[in-house]
A and B are shown apart, each in its own frame.
Chain A
Amino acid sequence: MLIIDNLTKTFGSATAVRGVSLNIERGAFVGVIGRSGAGKSTLLRMMNRLTQPTSGRILYGGRDVTALCGADLREWRRSCAMIFQQFNLVGRLDVMTNVLTGRLAHASHLRSLFNIWTEADKGIALTALEQFDMASLAAQRVDQLSGGQQQRVAICRALVQEPDMILADEPIASLDPRNTKAVMDALLRINKHFGITVVCNLHSLDLARTYCDRLVGMAAGQLVFDGSPADLTESVARELYGLEAGDVMEAPDAAVPARGAVAAAA
């Protein structure tokens, strides 16, 4: 079980996450919801230690994750794979190499610097790609792929880390509805089939309801809701988003393609 204990992050005078405490059981599919700027990304990034918490602790299996450094820290990052809204792949490298970077923490350090991989690692990467119908694109440069394909490459990279947990920061915000479904289905399959814990930031309440076992709501850096999708009533949603509930319930469908268009233009 992952225990988040009174976690806080401040950037200068601004507090992005304020005293969040949360327990996440193994195998859960947790959705983190809340309006823009609520601190969802910051919370996830602190879990992977891409962002260093200002105070508070994260405990996993009795160990204090926030105190890890060096090889232990890298091993922790390996065990909680991250999926990003902008994919964060290396565009100039091919699909295969990008997926193989998920094996960096497993591989020999010296060999990895020369881009030399064992047959076993390559086999693992290909197997992951094949599960998402991407094996035929293995030699393709990543920056020539569509957004949906890139996010699937990113999911493969996360999978070959052989993680205990996957942290997905708005993984579908740059995708069209069809790719959105493909990516969310993939996360669900990973969760149900392999028992990997998934924590997923989402903007769309509909998606959050459809895919998650448990929803966590954030507002202004604080935890304001924690319950099952059924508990997420209109009044709770209104509190989370500070809008008319009707707007909130409709917004997701309109919001997904709109955000995608912005990302594509950028």
Chain B
Amino acid sequence: MRGNQFKILIGLFLVAVLGLLVSLYYYNKPHVDVKHSEAAYILTVQNLIDEYQTDENESDKKYSENVIQVQGTVFEISTLKGNSVITLKDEGFESSIICHMLPEDNKRALQLKMGDEINIKGICTGYLMDVIMVRCTLVD
């Protein structure tokens, strides 16, 4: 009898520890690792902008919070608070895709020139005057 009670106690204890570990894991779960994530959509700059300008709500449902990859021409490279910002834009168009790069991509971003054709993977957060992407990384 005492043996059984002891086993139940041990069992309850294990369940409690497991529960604690699981909740700790969720509480501390890391941000999406863009570098090692598969892009949900691969598009050109103008395709993505066109979709947003045609139907912002639908595009938001489709792309925002997803890892997406865009291909386009470098229009501007700047830095903001120590991180690179790459603007992709086609000639003659008003809107662009503004890509806020991951800190580890700074060096590679600074080697780019205006007019370079590049691929960038990142998380889309939506559309203001331009499509905004964060946690971006260059794709070879």
Report whether chain A binds chain B: no
Q: Residues of A at under 8 Å CB distance from B?
A: none
